[in-house]
Amino acid sequence: MKKFLGVVLISLSLAACGGGTEEKAGAPAPKSMIKSKVEEKPAAKPADLPETAEIVIEGNDQMKFNMDKIEVYSGQKVKLTLKHVGEMPLASMGHNWTLLAKGVDVMDFGAATATAKETDYMPAGREGDVIAKTKTIGGGEEVTIEFDAPARGMYTFICAFPGHYAMMKGRFLVK
């Protein structure tokens, strides 16, 4: 009797759980199964968009940038000024601003900068990994660079001074 009861219970539970794998002919697919393709359209440039995006970013003695996101439009000229608002000298607390190409591993690139003091923290053979870069500056200094914004997408910027990339980084969004 126990065996019979066990077989009946198993049969009932299988019947309750099963049977939903075949779709009825002509019945619409459940919404969870419908996949839609959303086309990504370029962001419309504002009518009053300046030809040049002027950006001022600050780095301090606590190894922090004052912003972690910068937004520009593809093809727009970018005039970026890095201000080191700290007081420590370049040798101990230098900062730069480095825009990495898409797909560059931040940890790998950052580790390579540790042995690149002679080339202002631009690792030899890695020039293709960088879109734009300021020189390294110390407390109280500032530097300005100009470059064309790259293609649409999300990029990463860092301070490439050894060890700083872990804390001094952000997103560079090109619309």
68-105 pLDDT, tens per residue?
A: 999 999 989 999 999 999 999 999 999 999 999 999 99
Which domains does the chain possess?
52-174 (2.60.40.420)
pTM: 0.75
Edge-first strand listing for the sheet containing 77-84:
52-59, 77-84, 142-148
pLDDT at residue 42, rounded to an integer: 56
pLDDT band at 43 (very low <50, low <70, confident <90, very high): low
The token pair at 68 is: 């972690």
Interatomic CA distance for residues 43 and 53, integer angstroms = 16
